[in-house]
Amino acid sequence: MKNWHKNKTWIILIISFILYCNFYINSGTAATLAPSASIDKELLKEEIQKIYNKRSEVFINGDLSSLPQYFDTSQRYGKWALEHEVQRVKYLRSWAYQRGIVFTNVNSSVLLYKTYTTKNGIRLSLKELYKFDYIYKDDEQPVTNSFGVGIRHTVDLVKKGDNWVIYTDWYTDCFEDGLKAYTGDIKEIDLSREEIYTMPNCPREIKTSYTGRYNRIKAAEYADKYSGASLQEGTDYKYNRKYKDFNGIGGDCTNYASQVLGDKEAGGLKFDGTWHCTYHPFGGGEGSRAFVNADAFRDYLVYSGKGHLIKKGDFKQVAIPTEAHPCGIVQKLELGDLICYAKGHDIDHFAVITAWDSHGYPLINSHTTDRYHVPWDLGWGDKNIFFHLVHIR
């Protein structure tokens, strides 16, 4: 079964690569791209930021009919981008409704890295930084909770009349594993038919000190500093250059979680012969297999004794209150503990507990799609998703 999952992953990657290459052949290959020195980058930044923010308003108002104007639907890549955005809106609104949450504001800012001219228009390499604000709708005095998400895009813009629109938009989506149940048609879902979860209201404050060899306070501070999507003032949205960045070559989530546990600036757990990182004079340190591979890291934590598996199960099994755990067993996680995300039996992702919201809902940080204080299950809505709750000793 493990080999099947790995082979399946390679098949998906190969198909994605073929589609991506086909896109480049049809829209201007890398060889024909030219840096757009004559293009006003600030103007382009304003244009794509405007499009992204108008698109994000639909998370709030649910007006799917307003989305097509921002996409070039005369060709398949624009249609795909539109359909994907419709799925995202449906998923996020459904997720929030089920938990008694209302999003009050969603906005995007853009870090524009490079611009190129193509035969169709302009290609942008950028990072989109989301800020999501939400409240619990039944609270008498609602408290605004906020979280950040950072997504890397390669987006092509073309002119339609006087306006720039999205020709195609390639990115790693933070909601990807929650979209399968939703269609891309322009039709609002009936939220009244959605299951509503009985979620506990268990406010929780972060302790100012912890005992033990694992420095939880510093681990969380490190996780925030290098999240890539921090809402803290003065952040540069960069990773720790002391370590190799695995984005684009398998994902950086496990590498980041290992840093949070073991870096001297962070949790400070001692390395050993299985779990360690080899540092280089000019950065780009490379970790062992257990340091950077999700399956190996999960097994190492559990079998080495550094971690204790509290529970593994689907969303209801770990989040819904029981007599034994009135706040849900997920509330047993402490600051700096880990959640391992599995697709069936295949370990896919790691995230670090860094905070709790006004109802005590655990919030996480992670890499690849960069997350800062994000509700722990957001984006993981498929029926085949299982959560492994790991307490660090």
Name the residue among 212, 316, 340 with its Cα closest to residue 267.
212
The CA distance from 292 to 228, in Å, is 18
Give the model confidence (pLDDT) of 41-59 as tens digits.
999 999 999 999 999 999 9
3 vs 109, more confident: 109
Alpha-carbon separation of residue 28 from 34, 45, 47, 121, 155 (angstroms)? 10, 21, 21, 10, 13
pLDDT at 96: 98
CATH class of residue range 12-193: alpha beta
What residues have CB less than 8 Å from 305, skipping those under 6 apart?
393
pLDDT at 9 over 60: no
How sure is the predictor about 32, in pLDDT bands with cuts at 50, 70 and 90?
Answer: low
- In the chain, where are the structural domains located? 12-193, 216-392
User: 200 pLDDT band (50/70/90 cuts)?
Assistant: very high
Task: Report the mean per-residue pLDDT for the chain.
Answer: 92
Give φ, ψ of 227 to 5 degrees: -70, -30
C-alpha to C-alpha distance for 82 and 169, rounded to whole angstroms: 9
Closest CA to 130 of 174, 96, 67: 174
The two tokens of residue 131 are 């800020």
The band of 135, judged by pLDDT with boundaries at 50, 70 and 90, is very high
pLDDT tens-digit readout, 207-242: 989 999 999 999 999 999 999 999 999 999 999 999
